[in-house]
Amino acid sequence: MRLDHIGISVPDLEAASRWYRAALHLTEERAFSVPGTGLRGLMLRHATGYRIELLHRPDAVPGLVADGPLEAAGTLGYGHLCLSVDTAAEVDTEFTRLVAAGAAVRMRPCPAPRPDARMAFVADPFGNLIELINRTP
């Protein structure tokens, strides 16, 4: 098995689509709706193959909006999306780029618990955590 996609429920499908496409260099693969439910969605894809499915339902209620990874880990369920970069320097570069694109700072680039790795956390404009990490040995 391999991971196909992650689904993220968002309050504004169009705004989320614009942000994710621009900030993470995703392209729209397909839009869909589920008749009778009000649920609409967009499947976005990165050139490397990973997908993010944005979901919008008008009657959705807010969930946890964590201030950082420790708070997210204190609540059962979805915690964060992690994106890998090739070098420790890229963690800093991508962190700066995502913040400039409208992401909120949650954890500035720092050494990761894994030896010889660097990590950072941001939150998308809707409060969803995104981790950046390098896994180069």
Residue 137 has pLDDT above 70, yes or no: no
Contact 84, 38 (CB under 8 A): no
CATH number of 69-134: 3.90.700.10, 3.10.180.10, 3.40.190.150, 3.40.50.300?
3.10.180.10
CATH of domain 5-56: 3.10.180.10
pLDDT band (50, 70, 90) for residue 67? confident
The token pair at 28 is 């729209």
Residue ranges, comma separated, of all CATH 3.10.180.10 domains in the chain are 5-56, 69-134
Whether the full predicted model's pTM is greater than 0.75, yes or no, is yes
pLDDT at res. 1? 77
| pLDDT per residue as tens digits for the range 1-58 | 787 899 999 999 999 999 999 999 999 999 999 999 999 999 999 999 999 999 999 9
